Chains A and B, each alone.
Chain A
Amino acid sequence: MTTELFIQYLFAGITYGSIYAIVAIGFNIIYNTTGIINFAQGEFVMLGGMIAISLLPFMPLPLAIGLSVLMTMVIGALIEIVFIRWLHSPSVLRMIIITIGISILTREAAVHIWGDNIRALPYFVGDEITTIGVLGARISPQVLWVVGVCGVMVFVLHLFFKTTSVGREMRACAANRTAAILCGINPRNMVTFSFVLSAGIGALAGCVMSPITYTQYDVGTGLAIKGFTVAILGGLGNSGGAVAAGLMLGIIEAFSVSVVPLAFQDAIAIAILLGILFVRPHGIFGSGEAARLKAF
Chain B
Amino acid sequence: MLRIRNLESGYGKIKVLKHVSMHVDPGEIVTIIGANGAGKTTLLATIAGLVKARAGEILFRGQNLPALSAEKIPALGCVMVPEGRQVFATMSVEENLILGAHVLQKKGRQVQEELLEHQYALFPVLRERKGQLAGTLSGGEQQMLAMGRALMARPQLVMMDEPSTGLAPLIVKEIFQIIVRLRDEGNTVLLVEQNAKAALAIADRGYVLETGKVILQGPAADLLTNQDVQRAYLGREKIEEQ
Contacts and interface: CB of A to CB of B under 8 A. Distances in A.
B93 interface: no
A180 interface: yes
B15 interface: no
Contact of A183 (B50, B74, B135): B74
Contacts of B140: none
A293 B134 CA distance: 12
Nearest to B149: A183
Contacts of B71: 181, 184-187
Given A168-B99, A172-B99, A187-B71, A182 B79 contact: yes
B94 to A, nearest CB: 11
B74 A182 contact: yes
B97 to A, nearest CB: 10
Contacts of B153: 183-184
B70 A181 contact: yes
A141 to B, nearest CB: 39
Nearest to A165: B105
A107 interface: no
A184 B89 contact: no
A176 interface: yes
A178 interface: yes
Contact of B102 (A171, A183, A293, A295): A183
A178 B85 CA distance: 11
B111 interface: no
Q: Size range of the interface on B?
A: 20 to 34
B74 A184 contact: yes
Contacts of A169: 99, 102
Contacts of A171: 88, 90-91, 95
A113 to B, nearest CB: 38
A75 interface: no
A186 B79 CA distance: 15
Interface string B136-157: 0000000000000110010000
Given A182-B79, A184-B75, A185-B71, A294 B90 contact: yes
A175 B92 CA distance: 11
B82 A178 contact: yes
A179 B102 contact: no
B82 A295 contact: no
B90 A295 contact: yes
Contacts of B88: 171-172, 175-176, 179-180
B81 to A, nearest CB: 8
B43 interface: no
Nearest to B75: A184
Interface in B76-123: 79-80, 82, 86-91, 95, 98-100, 102-103, 105
Given A175-B91, A179-B88, A185-B99, 9 more contacts: A168-B99, A171-B88, A176-B87, A178-B86, A179-B82, A181-B50, A181-B71, A183-B103, A183-B153
15 contacts: A165-B102, A168-B91, A169-B99, A171-B95, A172-B88, A175-B88, A176-B87, A179-B149, A181-B50, A182-B150, A184-B71, A184-B102, A185-B102, A293-B90, A293-B135
